Structure 1
Amino acid sequence: MTDMNQIAQQVADRLTARQTKVVFAESCTAGLVAASLASIPGISQWLCGSVVTYRESMKIAWLGVSPADLQRFTAVSQTVTDQMADGVLRRTEDADIAAAVTGHLGPNAPPQLDGAVFVSIARRAADGTLAVQSTRHQLKATGRIDRQREAVDCVFSELLNALADADD
């Protein structure tokens, strides 16, 4: 795992360099992504906020996630994470990019999803359309707190990648 303060600073620097505003939709990290970025002085110029939707009902009500997709794919899926990123960006008009994260940190996770985290990045194009890209990560940490921190690293890494690709 990287130092969260260091990678948060890298994200803040990249947001500043790109003049890009970000918003988050968090589930398994319960706001730790936004809190980590908010520790950087001056980030309020680029951080729009974060929606913590730990429960499925909140994903539906606050982000517009499809109840049918939640039932079919579960909350820990690429489909739902994509909808979280899309939903939070559509609802945050001044944001340029969104990152969403959901995962199973344990205990009692299904074996195939234990330590699995999905991260989706949504970008707003000049014409107003949204493009979403997703990745699945298998966390190495075993403890819940360590897994939350590792998931934050995953979100920040994917966000840095997306911001690096912004000019391509």
Structure 2
Amino acid sequence: MEIEQRNLQPATQLAELLEATKTTIVFAESCTAGLVSATLAAVPGISKWLCGSAVVYREATKVGWLGVDEEQLKRHSAVSAEVTTELAVGVLNRTPEAKLAVAVTGHLGPNAPSIQDGVIFIAVRRRDDSVQDVVSTRFQLSSVDRVDRQHEAADRVIAAAIAAMVVV
């Protein structure tokens, strides 16, 4: 997997914030399929702060690995604020060393229902937050190509992590 140079500056900024605040991070990645973690792993020394990433592409994996409620998936779909919140909660619960979790789900197309085409959700959870404090944000990607959308989604996840670090 090629990590584009455009992603490294924000990844480096996130790594510096993690270092400065001594914060460990974990990701739950669906539509980005590990690209966020791979991008961050391109930064030397990140192993002190990056716990890992659960790539939960399929619904059964979301349920089995991170404890997403099957009823939530049926009611809202995997591309929803509710499921993204559950992913952030689940990956943080399963990674005791992490202080911060960021989750992403979405539909990159093609053949997406029009209401979900190019839509992603990102949720951020700190270890000290209650589930009610987790906010999942919806984004409409501007890219059209699937690979470009995946990179844009990864950039959005890194930006969300940076924003969460700035308010720590």
Matched residue SS, 2:134: strand
Matched with 1:27 is: 30
Structure 2: tracts of 5 or more residues without a match: none
For residues 77 and 109 of structure 1, what CA distance do their matches in structure 2 show?
A: 14
Match of 1:53 in 2: 56
Runs of 4+ aligned residues of structure 1 deviating over 2 Å after TM superposition are: 128-131
1:102 and 2:101 are equivalent in the alignment: no
Match of 1:146 among 134, 145, 148: 148
Is it true that 1:14 corresponds to 2:17 in the alignment? yes
Q: Which runs of 5+ in 1 are unaligned?
A: none
RMSD of equivalent CA atoms? 1.2
Partners in 2 of 1:129 and 1:65 — Cα distance? 17
Report the counterpart of residue 138 of structure 2 in structure 1: 136
The alpha-carbon deviation at position 3 of structure 1 amounts to: 1.6
* Cα displacement (A) at 1:96: 0.2
> d(CA) in 1 for partners of 2:113 and 2:167?
34
> 2:30 matched to 1:36?
no
Distance between the aligned counterparts of 1:48 and 1:72, measured in 2? 31
Normalising by structure 1, report the TM-score.
Answer: 0.94
Q: Distance in 1 between matches of 2:97 and 2:135?
A: 20
Distance in 2, Cα, partners of 1:38 & 1:161: 19
CA drift of 1:95 comes to: 0.2
Tell me, in whole angstroms, the C-alpha distance in 1 between the residues paired with 2:136 and 2:35. Answer: 20
1:67 pairs with one of 70, 74, 81: 70
Larger deviation: 49-58 or 132-141? Answer: 132-141
User: Percent identical across equivalent pairs?
Assistant: 52
Paired amino acid for 2:25: V
2:82–2:136 contact (8 Å) kept in structure 1: no
Other structure's SS at 2:75 match = helix
Q: 1:133 Cα deviation (Å)? A: 1.7
CA shift, 1:139, in A, is: 0.3
Q: What are the within-5 Å matches in structure 2 for residues 76-95 of structure 1?
A: 76-95=79-98
Q: Distance in 1 between matches of 2:160 and 2:34?
A: 17
Residue type at the aligned position of 1:134 = S
Q: Matched residues in 1 for 2:127 and 2:84: separation?
A: 17
Work out the CA distance in 2 between the residues paired with 1:24 and 1:8: 14
TM-score, normalised relative to structure 2: 0.94
Q: Distance in 2 between matches of 1:34 and 1:20?
A: 15
Q: Quote the Cα distance in structure 2 between the aligned partners of 1:149 and 1:6.
A: 14
Cα distance in 2 between the residues matched to 1:13 and 1:143: 31
